Amino acid sequence: MKKRLKKAIQESFDFPEAAHKAEFLREHGVPAEEEIRRHFIPIPLRITAAAAACALAVGLWNIGKDPALRLHNNSDSSIITTYEQGTSDSNISAPDIPVMTTTAVSQSVITITTASEDTSSNNAMTASTAAASAMNDIENQSNNTAPVISQPPKKTNKVPAAATTAANPGTVVSTTVSANSTDEYERSIIMKKVSLFLSGALAANSFIIPAASAEYKLETQQYKNEKPYLEMMDEGKLDTDINKDGKFDLIDCRLLDWYTTREFYEDTVLDITPEIIANIEKIGDYDGDGEISWFDSEVLMHHFMLNNDVSYDYCDPTFYDPDFVPVPLDLGGLTYVANATADYMFAESFFCRMNNISAGYTALEKFIDNGGMDLDVNEDGKVDIKDYLYFSVFAEERPDNIVLPENIRERVREEYFKIPHMETCFHNVRTSIRGFISGYFASHLTLMPEYFENDFYDSIVNGSSEYWPGSSLKQGAIAMGIESDEYEEFRIDEDLFKECLVNYYMDVKNGRAAAPDVNMDGRLDEADIKVSSIFFGDKVMGNTAAESELPENVWNNFANNCDFSGNGTSGDIYDIMIVQVYLYLTDDSALISSSANVNARTFSTGMSADEVYDMLADTDIDRSGDADSDGKMKMNDAVLVMQTISNADTYQLTSKGRFNADVNNTGDGITPNDALGIQKALLGLEP
Amino acid sequence: MSVDLNEQYDKIFRYCYFKVRNRTVAEDITQETFLRFFERQNKENDIVKEMHYLYTIAGNLCADEFRKKQSEELTDDIPDEKDHEDDIITSVALGSAMRKLSDEERELVILRYVNEVPVSVLSRLYGISRFAMSRKIRRIISFLKKEFNGEEEYHYEKKAEESHTGIV
């Protein structure tokens, strides 16, 4: 939601202030806000201070123990400690000696440790090693106290996970090393360790705190074909009470499913009456296509799933038939259920459909929370990012590119297959389940920025980055509302895009707007599409005109003079898509010659050509009559249209063909009149 | 993790005020809600459950208040609903669009966007799934968005007109 809209909503209400809040809360032992603020030392500061104090205290303790070390006579300065060590006990003035300085700066703490040259290296090492040991202690402590998940695997160039809570924004850690003794290198390493430790505490400010009550975002895209009917059901315009018992529940879904699949299964335990069958035939054709089909059943099931808290109980055949006994048969790697009754099939179909629209997240979450799955597959006593990786990779692992160790694979498999129907449906739902698992981990892990990088996972399992675990976790985090979707500006609202495109198309057709010659070469061809693709890439990468491979004038033209959508912004995703789709629709001959499979083309937003044609099917955009999509309108296109109508099982049109062939009364779908229209056009009787 | 009582006090008060439209009664109900909440505070340590519990108590107390009012004889000093609602809804930004919403929809908007109650709590309060709740909220927002854009355009045009005619 846009911030402006949210602000506008909030500004629309004017509530009075509570008059007796402070005294009421004080009476009941709740400190007032100001008091909390006064006493609150931010956790990051506490950690930073504790870290610095540990390093300092342990260092001092070691210095004190070593007679060779002398604390410089500046005891009044609690935050500056200088170790001095020379060949004699005499003090050596600072300007004469190269020094090694490690400085950690935060909002509240400044610790400067200065070690002098020559033989001080051992002492510096002692202090630093102790600090490193303190670091380990804290790390361990943090592991012990973390209830679920926390410590990322170590990478040499990564910050250790000692700190599990946040530090301050704006804190800086700097390490300056200047030494010229033989121990220089060693000391440098040691002091870097201290620095690393402090950095660990400080850099934790980049941790992402999981939302306590995140929701899994359900994309309407996932059920877009059913959307109009689901909305009508929500509004009560479609009757969902199949058995007329006064309420809509799972039984209604089961009854409609029985009706649409009754020819496949003779068995049923349902109490079917002629009245129910009559009612199904009366109200069951939700999409109004003249038959009561699996689609109608699916719409009803999705309506149930979207309005009820679903669980895996509904996916258990014994929920419907207590006597059901599954008999799995493993036939060469594929698992079947031998006694697949109608109840079994309904339970399985409920499971698959639930996952296909992401309503299955709730069920999976409940299942995990109730102990249905053990996420600690590497059995190290904690659920962490490694376990996430194993689950994530397993779901997509290809037989020709196995990267997980065998024992881990077995454990993950075992856990995944505790989910009902996974043995038979794994390949159908694995992508969805992987997404849910990502969402689950994203909302339960303390996330670190590198968790979203695919390469990071190679340090845990070599080659695992090929399965995009970082991207998947990111998507999970976005779905849970934890992470913002930085690519949102590159997505389109299909309804809006359709409206913009049709308006633009009509404007060009009627001479009110110029055609999208974005490269300004006087021609409309694939070069314009290419320019739009490069421009899109620049937008995603944040490139400027100077950084783009496009000529600067072309880039600037796209950025400033190409508001084809009329939304006030030139060169946004709507304009880019309009260029691509417009050119594709109006002159695809050049594209056909340059592309082996035009129908498989996808546009910058990832929309396929088929999706574009389906989207535009009911618009007034001109049609070519080229039903077989071979680039020309011929008599065989008219024949193909007739064949499609008369024998739909054998002859089918592609989305593009269906779009092209709808020449008569454009937008009403394929009819015999379209075949007639094509013939007339070929004979020159119609334009 | 527990709810921030200082923050929740204001939010529960707003919710009660929206329901009963009387500042004194709303504050009484808010305090009663918290008294009941304190009685069993240690039993939960889940922010969602705590928020759900707070809003459930507050909602029930408001419903009791409403029933009590209904059974009493109407007197002049009982505030007129509409007047008070006008007090809550300002004339700025989305004021007119807010008035077009039903009571329940307005309540949802307040809970979700003014009090920032998570959808999971709302779905429990209203007894529907999180998905159904999300879709319900999305529908309201899309209506408000449309109105908001319309108003923005109107203001823009008005401003242009004013600058054209010299009125600033």
First to last CA, chain B: 52
Closest partner residue to B89 (CB to CB) among A13, A218, A359 is A13
Q: Check CB contact under 8 Å for A212 and B141.
A: no
pLDDT at residue A240 in the model: 92
> Going edge to edge, which strands form the sheet with A172-177?
A70-71, A80-84, A110-115, A100-105, A172-177
Q: Kindly report the average pLDDT of chain B as a whole number.
A: 75
Interface check for A222 against chain B (CB to CB < 8 A): the answer is: no
Which one has a higher pLDDT value, A301 or A61? A301
CB pairs < 8 Å spanning A and B: 121
Interface check for B9 against chain A (CB to CB < 8 A): the answer is: yes
Looking at chain A, which residue has its C-alpha nearest residue B132? A307
Distance of CA A300 to the CA centre of its chain: 28
> For the range A272-276, what are the long-range contacts, defined as Cβ-Cβ under 8 Å and sequence gap of 24 or more?
A275/A244, A276/A242, A276/A243, A276/A244
pLDDT for A531-544, tens place per residue? 888 898 888 777 88
Q: H or E stretch including B133?
A: helix B130-165
Tell me which fold the domain B89-168 belongs to. Answer: Arc Repressor Mutant, subunit A (1.10.10)
Distance from CA of A18 to the nearest CA of B (A): 6
Per-residue three-class SS string for A195-228:
HHHHHHHHHHHHCECCCCCCCCCCCHHHHCCCHH
Task: Kindly report the backbone phi and psi dihedral angles of residue A624, in degrees, each rounded to the nearest multiple of 5, phi listed first.
Answer: -90, -15
Token code pair at residue B152: 């923005």
pLDDT at residue A113 in the model: 33
Residue A522 has pLDDT above 80, yes or no: yes
Which one has a higher pLDDT value, A309 or A52? A309
Per-residue confidence band for A684, with pLDDT thresholds at 50, 70 and 90:
confident
Partners of A36 on chain B (C-beta within 8 Å) are 6
Where does CATH 1.10.10.10 sit in chain B?
89-168
Q: H or E stretch including A81?
A: strand A80-84
Distance CA B166, CA B168 (A): 6
Interface check for A307 against chain B (CB to CB < 8 A): the answer is: yes
pLDDT at residue A416 in the model: 92
The residue of A11, A15, A302 whose CB has the most chain B CBs within 10 angstroms, and thus the best one to mutate to test that interface, is A15
Q: Check CB contact under 8 Å for A28 and B109.
A: no
Interface check for A282 against chain B (CB to CB < 8 A): the answer is: no
C-alpha dihedral, A610 to A614 to A620 to A625, nearest 10°: 50
Distance CA B101, CA B88 (A): 14
pLDDT at residue A488 in the model: 64
Partners of A12 on chain B (C-beta within 8 Å) are 89-90, 92-95, 97-98
Contact criterion met (CB below 8 Å) for A178 and A97: no
Interface check for B33 against chain A (CB to CB < 8 A): the answer is: no
Q: Check CB contact under 8 Å for B131 and A307.
A: yes
Q: Check CB contact under 8 Å for B27 and A20.
A: yes
Closest partner residue to B90 (CB to CB) among A12, A19, A305 is A12
Residue A72 has pLDDT above 70, yes or no: no
Q: Check CB contact under 8 Å for B129 and A362.
A: yes
Contact criterion met (CB below 8 Å) for A341 and A324: yes
Residue A349 has pLDDT above 60, yes or no: yes
Distance from CA of B58 to the nearest CA of A (A): 15
Which of 84-103 (B) contact A at CB < 8 A?
Answer: 87-90, 92-95, 97-98
**In chain A, % of residues over pLDDT 70:** 64
Which of 35-74 (B) contact A at CB < 8 A?
Answer: 35, 38, 47-48
Per-residue confidence band for A168, with pLDDT thresholds at 50, 70 and 90:
very low
A446: closest CA among A492, A389, A494, A383? A383
Lowest mean pLDDT among A207-221, A279-293, A353-367: A207-221
First to last CA, chain A: 47
Interface check for A263 against chain B (CB to CB < 8 A): the answer is: no
Q: Check CB contact under 8 Å for A306 and B128.
A: no
Q: Check CB contact under 8 Å for A12 and B17.
A: no
Distance of CA A207 to the CA centre of its chain: 18
Q: Check CB contact under 8 Å for B34 and A308.
A: no
Lowest mean pLDDT among A249-258, A338-347, A368-377, A658-667: A338-347
Distance from CA of B115 to the nearest CA of A (A): 9
Which one has a higher pLDDT value, A504 or B93? A504
Which one has a higher pLDDT value, B145 or B25? B25
Distance CA B42, CA A195 (A): 42
Distance CA A535, CA A533 (A): 5
The mean pLDDT of B23-33, rounded to a whole number, is: 91
Partners of B47 on chain A (C-beta within 8 Å) are 212-213
For the four alpha carbons of B76, B79, B81 and B83, in that order, the dihedral sign comes to positive
Q: Check CB contact under 8 Å for B131 and A30.
A: no
Q: Check CB contact under 8 Å for B5 and A32.
A: no
Residue A563 CB-density burial (10 A; 0-12 exposed, 13-18 middle, 19+ buried): middle
pLDDT at residue A207 in the model: 31
Residue A197 has pLDDT above 70, yes or no: no
Looking at chain B, which residue has its C-alpha nearest residue A9? B94
Lowest mean pLDDT among A255-269, A295-309, A556-570: A255-269
Partners of B89 on chain A (C-beta within 8 Å) are 12-14
Residue A145 has pLDDT above 80, yes or no: no
pLDDT at residue B15 in the model: 92
Interface check for B14 against chain A (CB to CB < 8 A): the answer is: yes
Per-residue confidence band for A220, with pLDDT thresholds at 50, 70 and 90:
low
Distance CA A221, CA A217 (A): 11
pLDDT at residue A327 in the model: 67
Q: At what angle do helices A552-561 and A526-541 cross, to 10 degrees?
A: 80
Residue A387: what residue type?
A: D
**In chain A, % of residues over pLDDT 90:** 14
The mean pLDDT of A485-510, rounded to a whole number, is: 80
Contact criterion met (CB below 8 Å) for A326 and A348: no
Interface check for A272 against chain B (CB to CB < 8 A): the answer is: no
Interface check for B30 against chain A (CB to CB < 8 A): the answer is: yes
* Residue A671 DSSP one-character state: -
Which one has a higher pLDDT value, A333 or A607? A607
Partners of A1 on chain B (C-beta within 8 Å) are 141
pLDDT at residue A499 in the model: 83
The residue of B6, B39, B153 whose CB has the most chain A CBs within 10 angstroms, and thus the best one to mutate to test that interface, is B6
Task: Kindly report the backbone phi and psi dihedral angles of residue A331, in degrees, each rounded to the nearest multiple of 5, phi listed first.
Answer: -110, 95
Residue A153 has pLDDT above 70, yes or no: no
Distance CA A639, CA A656 (A): 17
Most confident of A75-84, A136-145, A620-629, B1-10: A620-629
Q: Kindly report the average pLDDT of chain A as a whole number.
A: 71
Partners of B10 on chain A (C-beta within 8 Å) are 17-18, 21
Interface check for A306 against chain B (CB to CB < 8 A): the answer is: yes
Partners of B92 on chain A (C-beta within 8 Å) are 11-12
Closest partner residue to B148 (CB to CB) among A5, A24, A33 is A5
Partners of B111 on chain A (C-beta within 8 Å) are none
Q: Check CB contact under 8 Å for A1 and B89.
A: no
| Cα-based distances in Å from A388 to A75, A295, A378, A421, A456 | 50, 35, 10, 22, 13
pLDDT at residue A393 in the model: 93
Interface check for B117 against chain A (CB to CB < 8 A): the answer is: no
**Coil/strand/helix, residue A334:** strand
Contact criterion met (CB below 8 Å) for A440 and A364: yes
Distance CA A285, CA A509 (A): 39
Residue A50 has pLDDT above 90, yes or no: no
Distance CA A234, CA A17 (A): 37
pLDDT at residue A78 in the model: 33
pLDDT for A14-38, tens place per residue? 888 888 888 888 888 776 655 544 4
Which one has a higher pLDDT value, A84 or A412? A412
Distance from CA of B54 to the nearest CA of A (A): 15
B105: closest CA among B68, B135, B62, B61? B135
pLDDT at residue A338 in the model: 58
Which one has a higher pLDDT value, A507 or A169? A507
Closest partner residue to B87 (CB to CB) among A14, A213, A217 is A14
Q: Check CB contact under 8 Å for B148 and A1.
A: no
Partners of A209 on chain B (C-beta within 8 Å) are none
Q: Check CB contact under 8 Å for B118 and A215.
A: yes
Looking at chain A, which residue has its C-alpha nearest residue B9? A21
Which one has a higher pLDDT value, B54 or A610? B54
pLDDT at residue A107 in the model: 34
Looking at chain A, which residue has its C-alpha nearest residue B124? A309
Which one has a higher pLDDT value, A346 or A412? A412
Contact criterion met (CB below 8 Å) for A505 and A621: yes
The mean pLDDT of B18-34, rounded to a whole number, is: 89
Closest partner residue to A5 (CB to CB) among B110, B128, B144 is B144
A482: closest CA among A424, A441, A541, A454? A441
The residue of A6, A13, A301 whose CB has the most chain B CBs within 10 angstroms, and thus the best one to mutate to test that interface, is A13
Q: Which residues of A210-238 are buried (b: 16+ CB within 10 A; e: fewer)?
A: beebbbbebeeeebeebeebbeebbeeeb
Lowest mean pLDDT among A427-441, A483-497, A511-525: A483-497
pLDDT for B76-101, tens place per residue? 555 544 444 445 666 566 777 888 88
pLDDT at residue A654 in the model: 82
Contacts of A80 (CB under 8 A, 6+ apart): A74, A112, A114
Q: Check CB contact under 8 Å for A19 and B23.
A: yes
Residue A392 has pLDDT above 90, yes or no: yes
The mean pLDDT of A228-251, rounded to a whole number, is: 88
